[in-house]
Structure 1
Amino acid sequence: MSRQPLLNRQSRIIATRLTLHLGTAASMQDAAAALGALDDVWPRSEKPIFVNCGHTDYNAGLLDWTPPENATIELPAASLVGPNGPDLISALQTWQPTVCLNFDPEAAQALSSGVPFRFIGFDAQRFTLEQLKLLAARTKTYGMGVAFNVASTQDFLACLDAGITSASGWFFTSPTSVPAKKLNPAQTNIVHVLNLVRGNAEVKEIEAALKNDVAMSYKLLRYINSAGFGLSCEIQSFRHAVSMLGYDKLNRWLSLLLATASKDPMAPALMYTALVRGRLMELLATDLVDKSEYDNLFITGAFSLLDVLLGVGIEDALEAMRLPEPICDALLGNGGRYQPFLELALASEQNDGEVVAEQAAMLGLTTDQFNRAQLQALSFADAMDF
């Protein structure tokens, strides 16, 4: 599976689109079996998850899968008017899953099929913005309009102005301005505390640095007490955090604070993506590297968007921090033992199933292992408070 996030007008990720890359001989029953095997790790948050089965011929066999409540099945309009249409329509009317009709030349006929649609999906690569505006207006009585495969921030904003409720794509992960040469004061304060923790400074010295930035202290405790951290008691102070977690775990969460100092309007989406990448890399490396390196893998994934979040070049950002060599090597593209995990995490954001499969296989990971890790990473990001 690969994925795309759906963003709303506030630049928050409100849903995820999963694409199953099935082999040429695969059937809808195969898709149903693959999805059913993921039920125990399916993200159970309120965020909808759109499921697209690519170019495979759709039929009622897909409904062998019992979709979770937050799952939305994408269906090409053509699948409802072709030879398999009557059986598929009957199954949809019987089981009544949430459905997104993907708009194509057969859409007019499909909209009159009697199937209730919650969403109408438009491929932003197939329609002009003027066409999207017209189609969104004409179909809004059938379902909420969503756009897929949006290429740029400008196109994203134009889609929303055209009446689309949310749009998907990775346009926000590219820098939109010339990088600055140095960190701003808020970022510099966080790096100072981060370097103290990495250097195993005295607790009182770190506490003194934290007291100089009340907002930083508040955010740190909010992170640590998030559901995603899974603690059994509430952390009340930095000293309490040190005694409960140790410096290694605190280093991980202080690293995330850097992203909160971002002034980028896309910061909410970037933060969520950084969390998914970090947790995904950590999960992919389970049993493949020593446990002592799990936090470093998380930080590598979380820092893979550091240049965009901070508005500075990645070299300048890393120069200010004393990070382990494998993290820096991976982030700078210099190889090392963390880079294959980072490359696989990044491949999951592209619409190329063969590349994902090849890179997973290079690490000795099965398709199911990779898919499960990806869903668990989404659940982790959903549970975080940022």
Structure 2
Amino acid sequence: MSQDVFFTREPVINKQRAITATRLRVHAPACGDAVAALDAIGEDWPPARPVFVSLAGCAPDASLADWIAPEGAMMEVGAAQLADPACAEAVMQLAQAGVPLVLGDYKVGTELPPGLGFRFVMADARVQPVTIRVPGILLATGVADPLAFDAAVKAGYGGATGWFFKANQTTAKKLAPAHAQIVRVLNLVRRNADPKQIEDALKQDVALSFKLLRYINSAGFGLMCQVQSFRHAVVILGYDKLNKWLSLLLVTAGKDPSAPALMQAAIARGRLMEVLGAEFFPREEHDNLFITGAFSLLDKLLGAPMDTVLEEMTLPDPITDALLGNDGAYTPFLKLARACEDVSAGALRELTHSLGLEANQVNRAQMSALKFADTLEF
């Protein structure tokens, strides 16, 4: 397998702005290299949601017959690519093997090979009217921000692909009271305050206690017994682990319509940093890597500038440096996590090599992070 195969991704969003699938771009010099990279993911493949596999830098060909498609995988093919008989034949064989298809970059008047069916059809909402008849659920591409998404849905699109929801504006000059309460609890934990003091603070918002216990008892945490109370959590986990999971309360406190999508993206960033940084940092810093990635979208989630959010919090310098864009030990890993969300793989390739990582390491960690984020209920 070529070592120059990288994955980048973007979410597929439904009308309610929830992530329903992942669009995975496989940047490979040849289709055979892409197939080998996909097969190398193994058990790290995220099974909870469909994954649109989109080839970048190459076109589908006969080597697709070697692909052992995981459950939930769909093959995306560009409408213009189907004009090539070899590509059309390869895609037809894949469909006959039971792999669902997604049609990309559809334009009015494009002729499609007979006999092919598509679950989804993607079209640029900026130029394609929704009145076009398409052989599948129509998804918008080219959506720049939440307002453009709302316009596309109003026009009749069934959803969209892309990171448009990260374009949310931050307008508040200070944290909302509910967010400030979570920050107070977090600061108590970081100071190793008495468990009763922390428990009393949590009891001021019953929903926070419920969400905390739900996260701790989720499949992603992997505990052998169910945690019943905060004091029980202190005994089982200790303060360091609790800090990580209390941090999720802040990440999941946003009320914006795009909050669920932002939450999932933030948790995936955190998990990716935690996995990739494991061999670079001592165990006691792994949770800090997770928190860095998870907090990297706090300004969008809470509607306040990042420096305003961080002013209220007691965080280690490496976390603060990374979140404010300064140089620091965690900064390269946050940059890498963000690069996984780019359309191109240029920055991801450069960062991977500079850290001494291999493409397959990053690809597997990225898919594992998505799998982890899917275990949490937002």
TM-score, shorter chain, exceeding 0.5: yes
- The CA deviation at 1:278 is 0.5
* Whole-Å separation in 2 of the counterparts to 1:254 and 1:378: 20
Which one of 229, 233, 251 corresponds to residue 225 of structure 2? 233
Unaligned stretches of 5+ residues in structure 2 = 1-6
1:263 Cα deviation after fit: 2.4
Indicate which of 279, 300, 303 corresponds to 1:308.
300
Matched residues in 1 for 2:20 and 2:329: separation?
Answer: 33
Residue number in structure 1 paired with 2:94: 92
Q: Is the 8 A contact 2:170 2:304 kept in 1?
A: no
Alignment of 1:29-44 (within 5 A): 29-44=32-47
2:341 alignment partner, SS class: coil
Instruction: Give 1:161 deviation, angstroms.
Output: 1.9
2:331 corresponding residue in structure 1: 339
Query: Equivalent residue of 2:102, what SS?
Result: strand
Specify whether residues 380 and 75 from structure 1 end up closer, same or farther in structure 2 by C-alpha distance, changes over 3 A only: same
Q: Give 1:160's aligned amino acid.
A: V
Extract unaligned runs of 5+ from structure 1. Answer: none
Q: Deviations over 1:66-106 (max 9, x none)?
A: 21120110011233221414532541353131101124459
Q: Secondary structure at the match of 1:51?
A: strand
Report matched runs for 1:168-247 at 5 Å.
Answer: 168-178=161-171, 180-247=172-239
1:188 corresponds to which letter in structure 2?
Answer: A
Q: Find 1:11's aligned residue among 7, 17, 29.
A: 17
Offset of 1:217 from its aligned partner?
Answer: 0.8
- Tell me the secondary structure at the aligned position of residue 5 of structure 1: strand
TM-score by length of 2: 0.94
Identity of aligned residues (%): 51
Distance across 1 between alignment mates of 2:269 and 2:184: 24
User: How far apart, CA to CA, are the structure 1 residues paired with 2:298 and 2:272?
Assistant: 17
CA drift of 1:49 comes to 0.6
Say if 2:335 is the partner of 1:330: no
Cα deviation digits, residues 197-220 of structure 1 (max 9, x gap): 000011111111112221111111
Q: Aligned partner of 2:83: which letter?
A: V
Cα 1:143–1:175 change in 2 (3 A) is closer
Which of 242, 252, 268 aligns to 2:244? It is 252
- Partners of 1:148 and 1:300 in 2: CA distance: 30
Higher mean displacement: 341-350 or 75-84: 75-84
Q: Which position in structure 1 is the counterpart of 2:155?
A: 162
Cα distance in 1 for residues equivalent to 2:152 and 2:64: 30
Query: Distance in 1 between the 2:261 and 2:316 partners?
Result: 27
User: In the alignment, does 2:352 pair up with 1:360?
Assistant: yes
- From 65, 73, 83, the equivalent of 1:81 is 83
Cα root mean square deviation, aligned: 1.6
What's the CA shift for 1:195? 0.7
Contact 2:256 2:301 in 1 (8 A): yes
8 Å CA contact 1:32, 1:63 repeated in 2: no
Q: What is the deviation of 1:323?
A: 0.4
Is the CA contact (8 Å cut-off) linking 2:35 and 2:67 kept in structure 1?
yes
User: Which TM-score applies when normalising by structure 1?
Assistant: 0.92
